[in-house]
Amino acid sequence: MSDASTALEGLFDAVLDGMGLDGDVTVSETAEGEIAVNIAGDGLEPLVGRDGAVIDALQYLAHQVALRACGGEPHRVSLDAGGYRERRRNQLERLAEHAATEAIEHGEEIELDAMTPHDRRIVHMALADRTDIVTRSEGDEPNRRIVVLPASLAD
């Protein structure tokens, strides 16, 4: 186990203890250097927070801890708690397909609600292979949103 993995395991054990939550922390590393932290258990909703705000903040903190533990060498760090990320990905992919269908059927732009950069990336990737629609991000953080429109209107 690397220094970063050890540091992250300790961090999230402390977070769980501090929040009075019970969960099992697993840290794994890919050959590409990505570090995945998974917290399994029941009642982990406080780790996710409203619209994923807490889990996004914890993931940022985890990235900073890994960066320092590795002497400044960057690593991609992903954090999941109670399967939230997979559920959210599925929800966003369904939203993306629905928006694309609406854009084609009505021949107009469909503007989605503001999203985090992580969520916007999922939507863009979900529709990346479609040639009949185009996606773009508009606005400034934290109100940056995706617009889905028929390719014929993109010119």
55, 49 contact by CB (below 8 A): yes
Q: What is the mean pLDDT of the segment spanning 1-29? A: 92
What's the average model confidence in pLDDT over 76-94? 94
Q: Are residues 62 and 105 in the same domain?
A: no
The pLDDT score that the predictor gives to residue 132 is 94
- CA 118 from chain centre, in angstroms, equals 4
Rounded CA separation 6/69 (Å): 9
Range of the domain at 148: 87-153
The pTM of the full predicted model, rounded to 2 decimals, is 0.81
More confidently predicted of 154 and 38: 38
The answer to whether residues 128 and 147 belong to one domain is yes
Per-residue pLDDT, 155: 65
| Banded pLDDT at 154 (limits 50, 70, 90) | confident
Q: Domain containing 92 — which CATH number?
A: 3.30.1370.50
Residue partners of 132: CB distance under 8 A and separation at least 6: 100, 104, 150, 151
For the chain, percent of residues with pLDDT exceeding 90: 77
137-146 b/e (C-beta count within 10 Å ≥ 16 → b): eeeeeeeeeb
Decide if pLDDT at 76 tops 80: yes
Statement to judge: residues 77 and 59 lie in one domain: yes
Same domain, 92 and 143: yes
Domain count for the chain: 2
Shared domain for 58 and 106, answered yes or no, is no
Q: What is the mean pLDDT of residues 83-89?
A: 94
Q: Which of 61, 82, 103 is the last residue of a domain?
A: 82
Buried-exposed string 53-71: b where 16+ CB fall within 10 A, e elsewhere: ebbbebbebbbebbeebbe
Mean pLDDT in residue range 97-118? 94
Of 82, 98, 113, which one is at a domain's C-terminal end? 82
Do 142 and 95 reside in the same domain of the chain?
yes
CA 13 to chain centre: 21
pLDDT value for 51: 83
Could you tell me the CATH number of the domain that includes residue 44? Answer: 3.30.300.20
